[in-house]
Amino acid sequence: MTATQPTLNEIRDFKGKYPKQLWYLFATEMWERFCFYGMRGMLAVFMVSQLGLDDKTTNLQYGAIQAFVYAFTFIGGVFADKILGFQKSLFWGALLMITGGLVIAFSPTSTFYVGTCFFIIGTGFFKPNISTMVGALYHADDSRRDAGFSLFYSGINLGALLGGILMVWVGKYHSWPLAFGLVSIVMTLSLINFYFTKKSLGPIGLSPLHPDMPKSKRRGYEIATYLGSLIAIPFILILVTNTRYTDLFMYIIGPLTLVYLGWEMRKFTAQENKRLGAALVFIFFSILFWAFFEQAGGSLSLFALNNLNHSLLGIPMDPNVVNNSSNSLFVIIFAPLVGLLWVWLSKRKLEPNSVVKFGLGFLLLGVAFYAFYATVFFADADGMTSLDIFTLGYFVITFGELCLSPIGLSLMTKLSPGSIQGLMMGMWFLASAYGQYVAGLLGAGMSSADPNATNAVKLHAYTDGYMQLGLYALVAGLVLLAISPFVRKLMRGIH
């Protein structure tokens, strides 16, 4: 390593609570999450108000788009593991996202789906790899890792907060082309930040190809990856615009992923494979969690559009802005405190293990959905109800998320052998893809295909659905708590 590029041990032997590289990755991811959550918050509103889709179709379309975004994080993780390395994968992903924003901004109603395909592939190359680099900043037994992921999670939610507020507000009240154009502007900031700070990462995220491989062959693999991702765009367009193909894709990709993981597992020891088994338990339950949580961009977004009063604690407020940003605001405030709480409990040997944290996450998720259901008791005859109670639901759901999502990212890096960490991080996000897919189906099941349905009809349909989701989340949480001793045995030394 040169004087400006530290060794891996120098990076990991940092003093204090957080390594300096975490702050650089924090900033890079923050801007990318501005775009992702800004887009996520706009999708349902844009499709209903500009593309003229009914609520049922919008929920299905939203689920399909989000499912492919996360499904391609698995594919991006594999190519990063095998060919590009995390750093080049991140660069390529950012360039594709910048292109996608420009394509949609050119003519949102006619180029929306084409630009979305660029965004899907770009996020696939970007998202799993930056999280894996965060995990690489720590020694395997470093108790500060969970606190680091919690801080990282807080940072990316700063981007989600800004994007969630600004992009839907610009789109609804000013200009949809400008709202989508913000994707390109902000992703350029993300790319610039990473370019000027990547030297501090030393060997983390460099190409996995053997250093003795001829340069021409190495370059050939990289160019083939870039070209292949571009060639895939027309096929993704067919999948995204026809939800029946989405169903077929989701039926195939999951089993194939498990087969591929099984092929990789033959290389590892029995103990390593037990840990991978534990990782699969977490991945399965995360599918359920995100299927409920990701109502935020689908049914909850439409619920905010149609059924919520424009007043929060007596202050005029757009409900979609609250829906898109309140969770992020609460994460920013409380994630560092929760992370420090885990460290404080760990020092006193009182920290709950990761399985219990997951269980607590589901219990809180269930309580949050009962809060969303409770809005029915505050509705008027026109089906308009309290934004205050709705926001309370997001306050509760935030603590459920903080018990699961940053811990999940950390677990994938702790339970996975180094050679397949990108693959396992991709599988974590693939689980999110299935969660998004199921979220769309659940949202469609709660919504009406009748564009003339009254707000009162929509209110009761959605709130009845939220009551059911609350019950299912509570049951899942209790199951996780019950099986925690078995999963802990599989983890063997990983807390």
270 exposed, middle or buried (CB, 10 Å; 0-12, 13-18, 19+)?
exposed
Predicted confidence at residue 1, as pLDDT, reads: 46
Domain assignment of residue 122, yes or no:
yes
User: How many structural domains are present in the chain?
Assistant: 1
Range 99-121 average pLDDT: 92
Domain assignment of residue 359, yes or no:
yes
> Has residue 449 got a pLDDT over 70?
no
Average pLDDT, the chain: 86
Nearest to 221 by CA among 203, 234, 209, 233: 209
User: Tokens representing 376?
Assistant: 């029915």
C-alpha 154/C-alpha 17 separation (Å) is 15
Instruction: Determine the longest span between alpha carbons in the chain, in angstroms.
Output: 73
User: Tokens representing 195?
Assistant: 């370019």
DSSP secondary-structure letter at 316? E
Nearest to 40 by CA among 134, 159, 136: 159
Domain assignment of residue 5, yes or no:
no
* pLDDT confidence bin for 3, thresholds 50/70/90: low
Q: Which residue shows structure tokens 């082309």?
A: 177
Provide the residue type at 411 as one letter: L
Provide the residue type at 199 as one letter: K
271 exposed, middle or buried (CB, 10 Å; 0-12, 13-18, 19+)?
exposed
> Has residue 128 got a pLDDT over 70?
no
Residues 6 or more apart from 71 whose CB is under 8 A from it? 124, 249, 250, 253, 430, 433
Cross-strand bridge partners of residue 308? 385
C-alpha 467/C-alpha 393 separation (Å) is 12
Residue span of the structural domain in which 353 resides: 13-491
Q: How far is CA 264 from CA 59, 113, 389, 416, 460, in A?
A: 36, 35, 48, 11, 48
> 325-378 pLDDT, tens per residue?
999 899 888 877 887 887 788 888 887 888 888 899 999 999 999 999 999 999
Phi, psi of 137 (to 5 degrees): -75, -10
Phi, psi of 308 (to 5 degrees): -110, 140
Domain assignment of residue 221, yes or no:
yes
> Has residue 413 got a pLDDT over 80?
no
Domain assignment of residue 26, yes or no:
yes
* pLDDT confidence bin for 406, thresholds 50/70/90: low
| Three-state SS at 317 | coil
Q: What is the CATH number of the domain that holds 75?
A: 1.20.1250.20
C-alpha gyration radius of the chain: 22
> Has residue 30 got a pLDDT over 80?
yes
Domain assignment of residue 116, yes or no:
yes
Domain assignment of residue 115, yes or no:
yes
> 421-433 pLDDT, tens per residue?
767 777 877 888 8
Q: Which residue shows structure tokens 């309370």?
A: 392
User: Tokens representing 177?
Assistant: 């082309």
C-alpha 168/C-alpha 324 separation (Å) is 8
Nearest to 298 by CA among 31, 64, 50, 36: 64
64 exposed, middle or buried (CB, 10 Å; 0-12, 13-18, 19+)?
buried
Predicted confidence at residue 27, as pLDDT, reads: 85
User: Tokens representing 451?
Assistant: 């564009």
Domain assignment of residue 8, yes or no:
no
